[in-house]
């Protein structure tokens, strides 16, 4: 029997650390930063910190509340939601630079959705450090819904939240034959994309599709 002392484990090198950080959740990087990197301080003295550690520090410095999902968004909704294609109208024949754009829009709405319950959503942000303002207007009852998102949120996120809140309002009050108007082409295109061909799907977008599917089954919101 060989009674020789087994060799000491090798010091963690760059390849080991990067491969390890690539296979663990970001939430566990704090343990690695506190334990591993402190013990190998000389090694990291002249090295750039791993991207996972830098990302962790960036998240820790965000003052706003962070929502953590334990699952990939695609696995949080039923399969029927993933394959659902909402009815979205990208073009109703309006040139926004036209001086008669408002008149053309009103005529188009009166012609196509005269008997529908109409919802209008919008979002805006004054600067990179300002909060995102979100509003939903229910024209038939002259009801305003207003929300604020933290500065870290983008206008795109605000536009999606506006659409989601409009759909949730329609679902909650079981409003029949509704239509939601949004001027965010990027949000509408994101809703129309095939989720199986996207590398990353937003939880907000999937929530919108889920709500729209429920409304469609109840004969509520039928188009955007």
Residue 160 near residue 187, CB atoms below 8 Å: yes
Mean per-residue pLDDT of the chain: 80
pLDDT category of residue 29 using cuts at 50, 70 and 90 = low
Enter the tokens of residue 175. Answer: 């409003």
Q: How far apart are CA 117 and CA 183, in angstroms?
A: 18
Nearest to 139 by CA among 109, 164, 119, 110: 119
Residue 15 pLDDT greater than 50, yes or no: no
pLDDT tens-digit series, residues 125-141: 999 889 999 999 999 99
Q: What is the CA radius of gyration of the chain?
A: 25
Q: Does residue 7 surpass a pLDDT of 50?
A: no
Q: Under CATH, which architecture does the 73-223 domain have? A: 2-Layer Sandwich (3.30)
What would the two tokens of residue 28 be? 């566990």
Tell me the percentage of the chain whose pLDDT exceeds 90.
46
pLDDT of residue 38: 56
Range 3-27 average pLDDT: 42
**pLDDT tens digit string along 151-206?**
888 999 999 999 999 999 999 999 988 999 999 999 999 999 998 888 778 899 99
- The CA distance from 57 to 92, in Å, is 46
CB 178 within 8 A of CB 222: yes
Q: Are strands 178-182 and 143-149 parallel, antiparallel or unpaired?
A: unpaired
Q: Residues 196-215: pLDDT tens digits?
A: 888 778 899 999 999 999 99
Tell whether the model's pLDDT for residue 33 goes beyond 70. Answer: no
Strand partners, 118: 179
- Per-residue pLDDT at 39: 53
* Domains of the chain, residue spans: 14-60, 73-223
Q: CA of 168: how far to CAs of 103, 174, 191, in Å?
A: 30, 10, 16
Distance CA 50, CA 67 (A): 23
H/E run at residue 83: helix 79-83
pLDDT at residue 56 greater than cutoff 90? no
Q: Are 220 and 178 contacting, i.e. CB atoms less than 8 angstroms apart?
A: yes
Which residues on neighbouring strands pair with residue 181, listed in sequence order? 120
């Amino acid at each position: 029997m060989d009674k020789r002392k087994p060799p000491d484990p090798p010091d963690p090198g760059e390849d080991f650390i990067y491969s390890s950080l690539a296979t663990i959740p970001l939430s566990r990087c704090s343990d690695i930063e506190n334990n591993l990197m402190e013990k190998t301080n000389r090694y990291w003295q002249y090295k750039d910190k791993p991207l996972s550690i830098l990302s962790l520090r960036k998240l820790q410095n965000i003052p706003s509340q962070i929502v953590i999902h334990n699952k990939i968004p695609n696995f949080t909704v039923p399969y029927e939601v993933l394959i659902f294609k909402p009815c979205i109208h990208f073009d109703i024949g309006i040139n926004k630079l036209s001086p008669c754009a408002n008149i053309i829009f009103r005529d188009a709405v009166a012609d196509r959705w005269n008997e529908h319950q109409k919802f209008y959503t919008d979002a805006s942000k004054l600067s990179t450090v300002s909060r995102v303002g979100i509003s939903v207007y229910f024209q038939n009852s002259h009801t305003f819904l207003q929300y604020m998102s933290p500065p870290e949120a983008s206008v795109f996120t605000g536009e999606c939240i506006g659409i989601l809140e409009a759909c949730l309002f329609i679902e909650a009050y079981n409003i029949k034959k509704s239509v939601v108007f949004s001027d965010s082409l990027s949000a509408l295109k994101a809703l129309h994309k095939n989720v199986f061909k996207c590398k990353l799907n937003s939880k907000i977008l999937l929530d919108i599709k889920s709500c729209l599917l429920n409304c469609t089954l109840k004969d509520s919101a039928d188009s955007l």
